[in-house]
Amino acid sequence: MNRILQIILATASILFFMFIFNMVRNKRLELKYALVWILTSFSFIILSLFPGILTFISYVLHIKEPVNTLFLSILFFLLIIVFTLTLSLSRNANRVKTLTQELGILKAYIEELNKKDKAK
């Protein structure tokens, strides 16, 4: 891997890690969502500091250039992040549906109680 690319990747990964850490510390991002980003930044820090790992992975996967392996790994991590966000979105959609149904039942119950109270 090119030395300039190593420096850029390491610097960007460290800055990104500091940004995520600051977001968690200021309670703008929950830790459970930040873990994927933290693991991603750590893995890119390791790949930039030890380019032999990337070269070995390129050799094993029969990829000609280690830079292409880097782009492939970035794509892989982004797919993982999108998948985890999709799972979270799906869970939250189910929770919203359940809460909406419970709210409708409670409103109907309150209206029924109000009608009985007015009838007395």
To the question of pTM greater than 0.85 for the whole model, the response is no
Q: Which amino acid is at 37?
A: W
Give the residue numbers spanning the domain of 84.
3-119
Q: Domain total for the chain?
A: 1
What is the four-CA torsion angle of 81, 12, 71, 54, rounded to 10 degrees? -110
| Other beta carbons less than 10 A from residue 96's beta carbon | 10
Tens digits of per-residue pLDDT, 17-76?
Answer: 999 999 999 999 988 888 888 988 898 889 888 989 989 999 999 999 988 998 998 899
